[in-house]
Structure 1
Amino acid sequence: MPASTATRRAYREVTTRREDQMSAQPDHAPLTPYAPAPGAPAELLAQLRADKRASTWVPAFEHEWAAALEESRRTFSLARLYEVLQNWQGRIAHAPAVDAFVASGYDDSDAVDLAELRRRRR
Structure 2
Amino acid sequence: MEGSIVICSASVMLYFLGIVLLTFMSTFMVADTVAHIWPALSKHRVALISYGVWMAAFTLSVVDADWLITLGLAHALFFIGCWLFVRPSGTHLSPQHDDYVQIPLTVYVPAYVLICLLHGSLW
Give the TM-score band, short-chain normalised. 0.3 to 0.5
Structure possessing the higher radius of gyration over alpha carbons: 1
TM-score by length of 1: 0.34
TM-score by length of 2: 0.34
Structure with the largest fraction of helix: 2
